[in-house]
Structure 1
Amino acid sequence: MSRICDLTGKAAMKGHHVSHSNVKTIRKFYPNLQLKKFYIPEEDRWITLKVSTSAIKTINKIGITEAINRFIKKGSI
Structure 2
Amino acid sequence: MRQVIVYRDEDGYWIVECPSLKGCLSQGKTKHETLSNIKEAIAGYIAASRRLTLDYIHLCNFLCTCAKYHI
TM-score bucket of the superposed structures, by smaller chain: 0.3 to 0.5
Higher relative contact order (Cα pairs below 8 Å, separated by 6+ residues): 1
User: Who wins on radius of gyration, i.e. which is larger?
Assistant: 2
Superposition TM-score, scaled by structure 1 size: 0.32
Superposition TM-score, scaled by structure 2 size: 0.34
